[in-house]
A and B are shown apart, each in its own frame.
Chain A
Amino acid sequence: MPGPSTPSQTVGPFFSIGLDRLNRANLAEGSAGERLVIHGRVLDGDGQSVPDAVLEIWQADADGRYHHPEHAGPQNDATPFFGFGRIPTDAQGQFSFTTIKPGPVHGPDGKPQAPHLQISLFMRGLLRQLVTRIYFPDEPLNASDPVLQIVPESRRDTLIARPTKHEQTTLEWNVCLQGGNETVFFDC
């Protein structure tokens, strides 16, 4: 037996050298579905912006299908949706990406999960990635989502993107690493 999994180590401050090549801020390219822009900031325990973080997104397509062999069933081959994005924060700790709203994916009990994006977060200072999710506002399935239900009600809002005044198709979602609005991170 090869032993337990290799320990994680931080990406450090210079990850852009190796990771920039796969940066992808438009996940929607060439795909069917409602287009959305999600933007926000990453903030540390002092409320300072984090300019050296990178987010990775993994999501299903508009029909709620992951482009992956373990998600058996018909794939929408006419408009294949890859579902991966990688977006570094800028000097102000801000990020922005375009995607489509995923459809509901079934949960462990067979009931649908609410539409969500899987997020991995890497940065200097993080010895291993943080895992979280972005859910959508005004989504009836949020009330029965098997993951949201486990999260204490007072903290659920940290996982739900907010509509912005300017446009219906633009949402805001911020990451607070610490503090009163600390984002919920998962052990999965």
Chain B
Amino acid sequence: MKPLLGYRKPAPGTQPSHLYPPYVSSIKRAPKQPLVAIPITLSEITGPAFPKEIASPNAFDLTRQHKGEPLGERIEVGGRVVDEDGRPVRHTLVEIWQANAAGRYLHKNDQHNAPLDPNFTGEGRTFTDEDGRYRFVTIRPGAYPWKNHYNAWRPQHIHFSLFGPAFATRLVTQMYFPGDPLLEFDPIFHSVPDEAARRRLISSFDWLSTEPDLSLGFRFDIVLRGRNATPMER
């Protein structure tokens, strides 16, 4: 039988631990026992490949889901999804969700006293292309307060969910904006110990995707786990 190639373990410090006490919600929800390391099997190197139909052709444009246009600064967010060897992750599903320009989510549990926008839901999905590229059109989300500590505010962010080719490559993350003064104080951002890794969560302003008289461009490249070069020995 052909030996299975697993997925590489993250480099030390480049992923958050489950427990990060400054992020208070992690205290009662992070497991206390160490994770149990297991051999790679077919169950980890396979994963769902979604049919294209689950993302309608316009689902990448969050500004065109209602009768009118949402309020806020129109932006285009795009980039490439590659693995740790730089290979494009093709035709993979990307789901996003975000607050509106006032910093309010269209969610019953969001009690922030900021207005909802009848023209903005804040959800989008698309597939990467042959080269691993994706693109969304949306509005810049607002910062918003939360209850983690006194005067806590989340920096502006967009949530991203990606599958990649395998169960082992599943990633949910958040994209931040360059120059946001709130990043320095955000425990979720700071849960990633390695500074260089952390900074990769910050998108960059991008002239190439900035459309004259239309929208500012931000680039957010995403790296999914790469394949081991040799089969795991156990």
Contact = CB atoms under 8 A, between A and B. Distances in A.
Interface of A: 1-19, 21-22, 44-46, 48, 50, 52, 56, 58, 60, 66-68, 70-71, 82-84, 105-108, 110, 113, 116, 118, 120, 122-130, 133, 146-147, 150-151, 155, 177-178, 182-188
A133 B49 CA distance: 20
The 9 tightest CB contacts between A and B, nearest first, are: A18-B97, A125-B25, A125-B29, A68-B46, A84-B48, A127-B16, A187-B35, A45-B28, A66-B46
B37 A147 contact: no
A7 B109 contact: no
Interface in B105-162: 105-107, 109-110, 121-125, 159, 161
Main secondary structure of the interface of A (DSSP, over half): loop
B36 A185 contact: yes
A18 to B, nearest CB: 3
Contacts of A128: 15-16, 18, 172
Nearest to A182: B33
B107 A18 contact: no
B44 interface: yes
A126 B29 contact: yes
Contact of A2 (B38, B84, B95): B84
B17 interface: yes
* Contact-residue size bin, chain B (C-beta under 8 Å from the other chain): 35 or more
B37 A187 contact: yes
Contact of B200 (A3, A60, A107, A155): A3
B170 A129 contact: yes
A50 B30 CA distance: 12
Given A8-B15, A110-B1, A188 B168 contact: yes
Contacts of A14: 97, 99, 105, 107, 109-110
A90 to B, nearest CB: 13
Nearest to A11: B172
Among the interface residues A13, A45, A127, which one has the most CB atoms of the partner chain B within 10 A? A127
B46 A127 contact: no
A79 B83 CA distance: 33
A122 B121 CA distance: 22
